[in-house]
């Protein structure tokens, strides 16, 4: 009798172990499948949405920084060196290299500093007339620039409040690069219309709990628009003028 009971016990034990192994194997297969679906369908959507929202807030911050801290201190007379002939026609338009370099250095420093403040959650140090009022202050102070609804993978807004939200953070990679983009064209009779932009380029690392990605931010911020009396010449010095149009 004892041998029969021992054999039954061992048989039942083996069956339980086999069932556990089958369940574990099925569980592993299910997890692998879920991760595969997530990587193929959900992850690209998360990355795409996170890039859109990151570019949005960074572009707002960059534009406001240039507009409020840089453009107000720029003088048209100091920035350009314009040479005219005896008739008053423009012979050449050149940039003041010293003034240009000073502006670009200051612009890079100001943008980089504010992006660092945003990254670290030190938004109280960003003095740009409440430019970030549309964002959650408490989250920004934690370094979270946006919370992405995980329900977006189902393309159903009703599910956005059911599923947990994914916090998005950012890190500035390297330095901020700035340069002038300028458009000059004839305006009316014997006039030239000059539009000067500061182009800001920065590389940002987007951080989420399960993935990170790099994206480039490229923003043109107009700082000067002015009409200068005199015909537009066919050449310009300095190498800063990207577009020259005679009409």
Q: In this predicted model, what pLDDT tens digit does every residue of 187-240 receive, in sequence order?
A: 766 677 778 889 999 999 999 887 788 999 999 998 888 777 765 554 444 444
Alpha-carbon gap, residue 53 to 61, rounded angstroms: 13
Can you give the pLDDT at residue 58? 92
pLDDT above 90: residue 120: yes
pLDDT tens, 147-174? 887 766 666 666 566 677 888 999 999 8
Of residues 153 and 130, which shows the higher confidence score? 130
In three-state form (DSSP H/G/I as H, E/B as E, the rest C), the secondary structure along the chain is: CHHHHHHHHHHHHHHHHHHHHHHHHHHHHHHHHHHHHHHHHHHHHHHHHHHHHHHHHHHHHHHHHHHHHHHHHCCHHHHEEEEECCCCCEEEEEECHHHHHHHHHHHHHHHHHHHHHHHHCCHHHCCCCCCCCCCCHHHHCCCCCEEEEHHHHHCCHHHCCCCCEEEEEEEEEEEEEEEEEEEEEECCCCEEEEEEEEEEEEEEEEECCCCEEEEEEEEEEEEEEEEEECCCCCCCCCCCCCEEECC
Of residues 207 and 23, which shows the higher confidence score? 207
pLDDT above 60: residue 247: no
Confidence of residue 242 (pLDDT cuts 50, 70, 90): very low
Percent of the chain surpassing pLDDT 70:
70
Can you give the pLDDT at residue 244? 36
For 71-76, what is the mean pLDDT?
73
Can you give the pLDDT at residue 154? 63
> b vs e for 102-125, b when ≥16 Cβ sit within 10 Å of the residue's Cβ?
ebbebbbebbbebbebbbebebee
Confidence of residue 109 (pLDDT cuts 50, 70, 90): very high
Of residues 247 and 174, which shows the higher confidence score? 174
pLDDT above 80: residue 17: no
């Amino acid at each position: 009798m004892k041998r029969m009971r021992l054999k039954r016990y061992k048989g039942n034990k083996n069956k339980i172990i086999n069932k556990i192994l089958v369940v574990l194997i099925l569980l592993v297969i299910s997890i692998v499948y879920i991760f595969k679906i997530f990587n193929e369908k959900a992850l690209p959507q998360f990355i795409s949405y996170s890039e859109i929202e990151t570019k949005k807030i960074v572009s707002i911050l960059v534009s406001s920084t240039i507009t409020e801290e840089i453009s107000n201190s720029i003088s048209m007379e100091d920035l350009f060196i314009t040479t005219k002939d005896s008739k008053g026609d423009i012979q050449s338009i050149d940039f003041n290299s010293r003034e240009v370099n000073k502006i670009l250095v200051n612009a890079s420093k100001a943008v980089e500093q504010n992006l660092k403040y945003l990254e670290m959650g030190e938004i109280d140090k960003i003095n740009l007339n409440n430019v970030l009022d549309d964002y959650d202050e408490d989250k920004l102070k934690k370094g979270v620039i946006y919370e992405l609804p995980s329900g977006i993978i189902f393309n159903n807004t009703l599910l956005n409040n059911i599923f947990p939200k994914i916090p998005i953070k950012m890190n500035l990679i390297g330095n901020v690069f700035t340069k002038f983009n300028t458009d000059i064209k004839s305006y009316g009779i014997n006039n030239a219309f000059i539009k000067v932009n500061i182009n800001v380029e920065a590389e940002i690392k987007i951080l989420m709990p399960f993935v990170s990605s790099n994206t480039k931010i490229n923003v043109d911020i107009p700082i000067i628009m002015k009409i200068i009396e005199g015909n537009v010449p066919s050449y310009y010095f300095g190498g800063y003028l990207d577009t020259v149009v005679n009409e």
